[in-house]
Structure formats: C-alpha cells, structure tokens
Structure 1
Amino acid sequence: MTAPTPAASAQFLRESEIRRGSEMLFFAYSRLTKAVDQNLGERGMGRAHHRALYFIGRHPDISVSELLSILGVTKQSLGRVLTELEQRQLVETRVGDRDRRQRLLRLTDSGYDLDSELFNHARDIIARAYSAAGQQAVTGFWAVLEGLIPPAERERVHVWRENSVPPGQRR
C-alpha cells in the first residue's frame, strides 16, 4: 500500500515545494508515456507520431500550419512525421476548399483505431488518479495546468478545446 499524498505546505511557493511539484509532473508524465511509448516502439514510431495523431484526430481537416503552431516543431520535422503517417495509411491529406495551397489533415479509419488504442493506455491511468483524488482536486489540478500555459496562449487553448471533436466521434 502506498502512503497517502501529504498536503502541500502552507509555504508552497518555496523552492523545495516547487521542485517537489516539478518532480511529480516529471514522474507522472513518464508513467503516462511509458505504455504509449512501448506500443509506438513496436510499430517503429515515436512521440512525435503520437502527438500528430492525437491532434489530427481531435480536429479533422486541421491545416498543416495550424498543427505546426500547436506542436511547436519545425516544418521539416512535421513533414517527416506526416509523410510516414501517410505512408502507413494512418493520415490522409486533401487540399483546402478555399485555398488550394492549403493541406488539410485527417485520420483514416486505421489512424482513428491507433489513436484510440494509444489514448486508452493513458485514459485508464488518468481515470484512476482522478477517481482517487476527487472532483475538487481534479479542478485544482486543471487550474495549475492552465496556470502553466502562458496567458497569451490560454485563449487559443480554450477555443481549441471547445472546437475539438468529442472522443469517439468523427466528422
């Protein structure tokens, strides 16, 4: 049995407390990505493929430029990932309706299946943690995560989330 998580100190802004939170973020992220990384590795893919699949799945017909902005990677890096995902028939590309130069991305049925499979690994871990912590703690956790996003980017994150395709649905 694990020890209960101690409450944050009243001096939670001290370096030791901030380091503790930073370390917990690191270990939690490592745990979340471990199962996904193993699954991706078996397919000869990595986290860049996973991030692209995830965001394309949540926003079918996302433009390459929008995806570049969200992922914060170079055009060359994303190009390599998209080429591989297209070759594996996980992502398909079409030209824009108004601008023929625009490339719009969406997952194929195989891409949706893989995205769901990868998400399920993390979902189960997160759901257990949410359940153990309770609604108030989850709300506080979300507030901390949002606070980590630079203020200038928060509105974009809110708009992005509001316009996302609900899980399990496809446009």
Structure 2
Amino acid sequence: MPDAPTQPYLTSKRETLTSAPHAAPGAGHLFLREDELRLAQDLVFFAMRDLNAPPDALLAEMDFGRAHHRCLHWIGRRPGLKVGELLSILGITKQSLTRVLGPLIREGYVEQVPGPKDRRQRLLSLTEKGATLERQLFESQRERLLSAYREAGGPAVEGFKRVMRGLISPQGRSYVETAEQPRAPKAPRST
C-alpha cells in the first residue's frame, strides 16, 4: 500500500491536510470542507477589518494610512531596521516605500541614519514622536486583541498562532520568530 501523500491535496468536497513541518507530532489528518475554508477567509477578512479600524481612524486624521502604520509597526519592532529589510517585510517596491516613508521622516516620526560600516545603508528608527504614535496605534488595537485572546483561552490561542504561522511564508515566519525573541536592554546614552 503506498504511503499517504506528503503534500496537501484538494478534493471536490474536502481538503486533506497531512502532517507538515509546523504540525504537532501525531496531528494526523484534518478534513476541511470548502465551506469551512471559505469561512476561514471570511473570519480573517472581518478580523483584519475590525482590528485595523481604530488605527485607520487615528491615521486618517493625520493624512496617513495603513501603509504608514505598517512602517511604524516594523520600525518600532526592529529599531535600526535596514531599508532593504523593510522592503522585504512589506513586500513593496522602493518607489512605494519612498511615498510612505518620506512623510514619516519629514514630519519627524522616523529617523534615517547611514549604516556604521556601509554608509550607503539606511537604518530606520522611530523618533520619540514616532514611538508615541506607534504606541497609540498599538493601544487602539490592544483591547480587542486582549479580549479575543481571553475569550478563546490558552489552547485556542496556541492553535491560532499555529494557523497564522501556517499562512505566513517562511520568510515572514523568520521575521516573526525574531520578533518573539526577547530584546537586549538598551545601553544608556553617554554624554
């Protein structure tokens, strides 16, 4: 008898997912109907819409949008982030990033400095003003996230994280894994 396929396959009535590298040992097969997968799409859509509504409203007052939020988020998560890395994380062109990053720099939310070894490199960090805005944006989403996590409970939260990781490309997962690692405390500035 041949072994079970190693790749997931779709039948007309149900999806069969076999154990994958990110699956727990012994997870076995999970059978999902197309309507269950479409419901998952619906849930992701409404979750993102509702999670992003409060920061979108704050940003709209400043003539900023969701792309600005994404930049502030990732620069805040990774101070000293290289422009090339931000391009890679966001999956956008240099031209698109310039349109978004330009106003953030001009209005004092983001600072850009040359790299210490390669002066052509541009390293991005939030200014105090930028960190304050990024914190406001996070706080506008915090309660919804916290409430959803509490309502779901521990095992569901772990399952949610596994599903989300499964939706993310390997490159995206590496950024998430880096963000999950504890940060070293900042050294005090010498004067």
> How far did residue 160 of structure 1 move?
4.3
1:152 is displaced (CA, Å) by 5.5
Partner of 2:33: 14
Q: Could you say which residue in structure 1 is the equivalent of 2:118?
A: 99
Q: Among residues 54, 76, 86, which one is paired with 2:105 in the alignment?
A: 86
Whether 1:158 aligns to 2:177 is yes
The equivalent of 1:120 in structure 2 is: 139
Alpha-carbon deviation of 1:149? 1.4
Q: How does 1:55-94 map to 2 (within 5 A)?
A: 55-94=74-113
Say yes or no: does 1:35 pair with 2:80.
no
- Hey, which of these two has a bigger chunk of helix by percent? 1
Whole-Å separation in 1 of the counterparts to 2:170 and 2:113? 33
- SS at 2:113 equivalent: strand
Q: Which residue does 1:45 correspond to in 2? A: 64
Structure 1 stretch 154-163 or stretch 47-56: which is displaced more?
154-163
| Structure with the larger strand share | 2
Once the two structures are superposed, what CA deviation does each residue of 1:15-71 show, in whole Å capped at 9, x if it has no partner?
000011110110111000111111100110001100000100111111100100101
TM-score, reference length from structure 1: 0.86
Task: Please give the alpha-carbon distance, in whole angstroms, between the structure 1 residues aligned to 2:136 and 2:172.
Answer: 29
| Structure 1 runs of 4+ with >2 Å offset | 150-157, 159-163
**Structure 1 stretches lacking a partner, 5+ long:** 1-10
Matched, 1:111 2:152: no
**Residue type of the alignment partner of 2:140:** H
User: 1: distance between equivalents of 2:104 and 2:154?
Assistant: 37
Give the structure-2-normalised TM-score.
0.77
The structural deviation recorded for 1:121 is 1.0
Shift of the alpha carbon at 1:12? Answer: 5.1
Q: Give the Cα–Cα distance (whole angstroms) in 1 for the partners of residues 54 and 31 of structure 2.
A: 32
Q: Which has the higher Rg, Structure 1 or Structure 2?
A: 2
Aligned residues: 159
% identical aligned pairs: 46
Q: 1:133 aligns with which of 146, 152, 164?
A: 152
Structure 2: any 5+ residue segments left out of the alignment?
1-29
